[in-house]
Amino acid sequence: MSIVRYAGADGRPEVGVRENDRVHPIAGADLVSLLRLSEGELRQQLGAAAAGKSLPLSELTLLAPIDGRTEVWGAGVTYFRSREARMEESKFDRVYLDVYDADRPELFFKSVAWRVLGDGARGGMRHDSTDSIPEPEVAIVVNSSAEIVGAVICNDFTSRSIEAENPIYLPQAKTFTGSCALSSEIVPWGELDHPDDLTISLDIQRSGSTWFEGSASTSAMKRSYQELVTWLFAAMEFPDGVVLSTGTCIVPELGQSLIEGDEVTVRVDQLGSLTTTMAFGGGAGR
């Protein structure tokens, strides 16, 4: 079972529960209204919807599963591989070393809901970046009471050249048109077997052949999901919930930059897949 957002008959977004090849609409709901419920209330609401009428999945256009004032945030340097890659690319290598070991994690604002790309969209690069990379990540979906209620795939597209120039440029390296993509389905947290050991894989197709592939497991994460949520909510409330991307464990080698037309696919056990075709700015498929 998963939660999806899709274009309704009049083109307006609707929300439903997907089970196999059917989607059960949740009448009058948007995602924000679900993220204001407690985890128990949400489970009940999804169960009730799943018992109701349904539509064929094949007839629906799925949208990015985020709306309203829900924000996407990112956590950084949560894996050893991310720490090593940043230290190699930046002359300010000490900051990455320190944050990896510090109590306080790196947390950064990534996107407002309306900017988020869905599966199959074009985006991910900015014109003034000479080295652009994908960051395939598991993102947790957190309700307004700071309970983890689901998970989704996030691609935290990044300008590696801008971040390497100076870490103070991080907001420009991380947040730009088309920089954040989410997969189509939020899988309820309680439905996931072993969220601490999910295989994430990245596949990049260039001109019809495989240009990059890699995989890793969330078991290599230095911090727990709960720890990241506790820090995120430490001094800020999220009345419409929040999506928190938990960091990358797969980083292409320095100098291996994405180019226009690359087809980037992230797959995560139990969460499905997320494909983005690389382009400047954001494009169709939002």
Q: Which residues bind Mg ion (CB under 5 A)?
A: 135, 156, 248
CA distance 15 to 30: 6
Residue 82: which of ligand DO4, Mg ion, none does it interact with, CB under 5 to 8 A by kind? ligand DO4
Binding partner of residue 86 among ligand DO4, Mg ion, none, CB cut-off 5 to 8 Å per kind? ligand DO4
Which pair of tokens denotes residue 204?
A: 């990049």
82 binds ligand DO4 (CB under 6 A): yes
Among the residue ranges 71-79, 188-196, 198-206, 252-260, the one whose residues contact ligand DO4 (CB under 6 A): 71-79
Query: Residue 188 CB, nearest distance to ligand DO4 (Å)?
Result: 24
Closest distance to Mg ion from the beta carbon of 155 (Å) = 9
CA separation for the pair 202, 264 (Å, rounded): 7
* Best CA proximity match to 74, nearest among 139, 150, 134: 139
Binding mask 134-173 for ligand DO4 (x = CB under 6 A): -x--------------------x-----------------
Q: What is the DSSP string of 30-68?
A: -HHHHHTS-HHHHHHHHHHHHTS--EEGGG--EE-S--T
Confirm or reject binding of residue 77 to ligand DO4 (CB under 6 A).
Answer: yes
Give CA–CA dist 3/18, Å, rounded: 6
How far apart are CB 200 and ligand DO4 at their closest, in Å?
11
Report the DSSP pairing between strands 148-156 and 158-159: unpaired
Q: Which is nearer to Mg ion, 50 or 95 (CB)?
A: 95
